[in-house]
Homo-oligomer: A and B are copies of this chain.
Amino acid sequence: MPAGELNRSVIARAALTLVDREGLGALSMRRLGAELGVEGMAVYHHFANKDALLDEVVTEVLRQTAPEPTGDWRADVRALSHAFRNTVRAHPALLMVTMTRPVDTPETAAFREAQYAALTAAGLSGGALLDAHRTWGSYLVGYLVVEYQAEHSGYRDSDWTPTRRDGFPLTAGLSPYQAGRGWDEQFDVGLDLVLDGISALRGRSR
């Protein structure tokens, strides 16, 4: 692969496509250098270390724009939730890296402002709005982790079916209900459940 121009953005994007293609374990400085047609140690002239590189990669991933508000706060919350989920799921191998590293860029700030706007449109303000936002955000993050865990393990696709049922009657009895529902649908179901809770907060401001 010819070198072209070598700068932070080019290196970060090469790292991203490498991780998308071969997983997080494939990302080493030497390997990345080879991908860029350069010696691996050259990367250290653009990034202090691997950690700084990963920060830039995550920043690259989260360079998304928030969907336009529609006036319907529930629709806006759903749209923002889907945007976030789609963005993160576009690079599943990086999930744990994105979860661990806080990113504070104009893009992430604008996205959060849009989240606040949707909750404001829902009639929330002050501390109650922050409570709703933090709970909503926890649900988003947690659902992505649970979904990722289910996909990268022995569980059947789009199921959360436990295998160990002997001596656990409730678990056994629920097993028939586990089938036939996809992660996209279940994401919305849980989201609506959280939104019902958020609706109940209206009026309060703590």
Contacts and interface: CB of A to CB of B under 8 A. Distances in A.
B149 A102 contact: yes
Nearest to A194: B197
Contacts of A152: 100
Contacts of A174: 116, 126, 129-130
A195 interface: yes
A32 interface: no
B96 A168 contact: no
Given A99-B145, A142-B145, A104 B164 contact: yes
Given A99-B96, A106-B164, A146 B134 contact: yes
Nearest to A189: B131
B110 A100 contact: no
A152 B101 CA distance: 9
Contact of A96 (B100, B143, B153, B178): B100
A171 interface: yes
14 contacts: A96-B96, A96-B99, A101-B153, A102-B154, A109-B168, A126-B177, A130-B174, A131-B190, A134-B146, A134-B186, A139-B194, A194-B194, A194-B197, A197-B197
Given A102-B149, A120-B170, A193-B194, 15 more contacts: A101-B153, A104-B163, A105-B164, A109-B164, A109-B171, A110-B168, A127-B177, A130-B160, A131-B190, A134-B146, A138-B143, A142-B142, A177-B206, A194-B197, A195-B197
